[in-house]
Amino acid sequence: MTLNRRTALGLAAVAAFPVRAVAQQQAPADPVEVIRLWPGAAPGGEHVAITPQVTERSTDPTFHDRFARYTTDPIMTVLRPDRPNGASLLLIPGGGYKWAVVDKEGLDCARVFAAAGVTCFVLRYRLPGDGWAAGPDAPLQDAQRALRLVRSQAAAHGLDPARVAVLGASAGVRSSPSAPVNSARSFPP
């Protein structure tokens, strides 16, 4: 399957309106594969004193509606398709820089793309108002690092490093196009 812009937008639109099966009793289980972005602590956190939180907003046991805030250890949650086609997608959820939406703009979208054969990496990034030395660039720093990791480890996972896409939602949009485009403005390490 060729994943062009129109197909990607169509899949994202479908993911925005999930259809739940009548017989479904529980929300889908979370993927267990997680990749930490940084070896050790995230950069610039010497004066950061926050406690990570993931909050569930849904009262319906058949689906999750979570958001994460105060992230101190940025991660990518990996969803691998049953029949991978070599393409991969870095998803950067939004949340108005107050939080990052875990399900609606992250895992739910990733499940739709994974069903089409795309290996998905859902980024949980640091927020700009949490005291990081990078300030408003902390999410971009994490997005760049995530993209580098996906590309550098692509061959080891049977993925094509030339077929990596980035999709951001809301606040994630600021980081998503900037990650590959602003490679001249690179953040260490």
Query: For the chain, how many structural domains are there in total?
Result: 1
pLDDT at 10: 63
Domain membership of residue 73 as a residue range? 47-180
Pull the structure tokens for residue 50. 């926050």
67 pLDDT exceeds 50?
Answer: yes
Mean per-residue pLDDT, 98-117? 93
Q: What is the DSSP string of 124-150?
A: E---GGG--TTGGGHHHHHHHHHHHHH
Q: Which pLDDT score is estimated for 25?
A: 78
The answer to whether position 159 is within a domain reads: yes
Does residue 181 have a pLDDT over 70?
no
CA 154 to chain centre: 16
Asked whether residue 135 is domain-assigned, the answer is yes
Instruction: Summarize pLDDT for 138-166 with one digit per residue, the tens.
Output: 999 999 999 999 999 999 989 999 999 99
Place of tokens 């950067």: 92
Residue 139 is part of a domain; what is its CATH number? 3.40.50.1820
Q: What is the pLDDT of residue 74?
A: 96
30 domain residue, yes or no = no
Assigned domain for 126 exists: yes
- Phi-psi region at 96: left, alpha or beta (left = phi > 0; alpha = psi -120 to 50): left
Mean pLDDT of 50-75: 93
Assess if residue 121 is contained within a domain: yes
Q: Does residue 26 lie within any of the structural domains?
A: no
Q: Classify residue 115: in a domain, yes or no.
A: yes
In a domain? residue 7: no
pTM of the predicted protein model = 0.80
Q: Is the pLDDT of residue 187 over 90?
A: no
